[in-house]
Amino acid sequence: MDAQAFCGALEHRGYGFFSGVPCSYLKGPFALLEQHPTYLPAPNEGIALSLAAGAELGGTRAAVLIQNSGLGNLLDPLTSLLLAYDVPVLIVASLRGWPRPEDDEPHHAAMGAGTLGTLEAIGVAHGVLDGDPAGLEALLDRAERERERRRPFVILVPKGTIGTCAVPAGGEREEPELDRQEAVGVIAARLTDELTFSTTGMISRELFAAADRPENFYMQGSMGHAIGLGLGAAVTLPHRKVVVIDGDGAALMHLGGSALVGERGPANLTHIVLDNGSYDSTGGQRAARLAWAELALALGYRTARTCATAAELAAHLDKIAALPGPHMVGVPIRRGSSWTPPRITSAHTNSEVRARFQQAATPTSPLDGPEEPAQ
């Protein structure tokens, strides 16, 4: 089905407010909705749903577009806000990992198999789009009937059901000097024995391509949680240096993790945010913008700096290697990339990534391991 026809059908039914977090299966609708005056790119799917509920309370029909992996972020406001206060919102969710989980990346398997059952378990009506415009109208009719009962409705979108169209260029700032490959290349060249957590999507694939090493934990899936992983490891392994390579969209998704970094202040943690102002891995959709260095200082990080060139980034990473953190390094990078790095699963299963990382993190058992530092 054509993306224009899909969005047109929603607007025809009176939907006038849109929010969401992108999925590559919904690239077409996102490209069109980004041009809509009342589209708000949400930091996470739960916030998208609360924005939509606010719009509904204000009298405007609202729709939220998400990847089914984001159902976990959205379940609380779906159950304890929409269902509890009778607020009808239309949710459009892609179906990664469905119908055959083995045809998709492993981090989509459990939610792919469990999306329909989860909705059934909480009693939210839903239907799977088949790419036929008449099928969409039938689903929107069902959404209408749920709306009369003041209930939400979920349209589930399998792979290849809605066509893509080009994402409009950002154009709101000067083109950064670095691209993702260059920035990750500079960082990777400086990694020795640091435990390194890289974020969901292309950034992890880029690190894998630049320097595959046991100390790399490629966190595909669980978007926004790389900083939580890094902080947990930094606090429990204070004798090890920990580097988190984040995307701006992911860092924003669970920004609370960064607040805890500032509050706890682990000296051995460096948080690098590659900032392209977009969700590049899912097609380059616009993301909310933040001044990462300024924000980190306000949160309590010990040092923070924006590095816009390869030379500046290299010199700064060398300098802070000898200084106590936590450090924030913001790196403006261009949207898009001249190549597509390979998937990590082309070489390693997730279990291998985890096992060799653990071996590198604690080569000896905790009993013979390094002594606890004095408190």
Under rule CB under 6 A, which residues in 188-207 are in contact with ligand TPP?
Answer: 199-203
**Residue 359 tokens, joined:** 């071996």
Residue 56 vs 275, nearer CB to ligand TPP: 275
Residues 174 and 134: beta-carbon distance below 8 Å: no
Give the interface segment with ligand TPP, choosing from 119-127, 247-255, 307-315, 342-350 (CB under 6 A).
Answer: 247-255
Helix (H, G, I), strand (E, B) or coil at 242: strand
**Residues 285-314: x where in contact with ligand TPP by CB under 6 A, - otherwise, as a string:** --x---------------------------
Q: Which of 21, 31, 195, 242 binds ligand TPP (CB under 6 A)?
A: 21
The CA distances from residue 205 to 29, 92, 107, 341, in Å, are: 26, 28, 14, 6
- Residue 93 touches ligand TPP, criterion: CB under 6 A: no
Residues 6 or more apart whose Cβ sits within 8 Å of residue 362? 237, 369
Do the strands 195-198 and 125-128 form a parallel or antiparallel pair, or are they unpaired? Answer: unpaired
Residue 289 vs 356, nearer CB to ligand TPP: 289
Under rule CB under 6 A, which residues in 132-191 are in contact with ligand TPP?
Answer: none
Q: Which of 20, 230, 247, 326 binds ligand TPP (CB under 6 A)?
A: 247
How are strands ordered across the β-sheet holding 61-66?
39-41, 15-20, 61-66, 90-94, 153-157, 125-128
Residues 6 or more apart whose Cβ sits within 8 Å of residue 234? 240, 242, 266, 268, 269
Residues 6 or more apart whose Cβ sits within 8 Å of residue 77? 46, 49, 50, 53
- Residue 216 touches ligand TPP, criterion: CB under 6 A: no
Output the residue with the shortest Cβ distance to ligand TPP: 247
- Residue 231 touches ligand TPP, criterion: CB under 6 A: no
The CA distances from residue 11 to 144, 161, 218, 312, in Å, are: 13, 19, 40, 48
Least distance in angstroms from the C-beta of 66 to ligand TPP: 7
Give the interface segment with ligand TPP, choosing from 46-54, 68-76, 187-195, 354-362 (CB under 6 A).
Answer: 68-76
- Residue 249 touches ligand TPP, criterion: CB under 6 A: yes
* Residues binding ligand TPP (CB under 6 A): 21-23, 67, 69-70, 73, 199-203, 221, 223, 247-250, 276, 278-282, 287
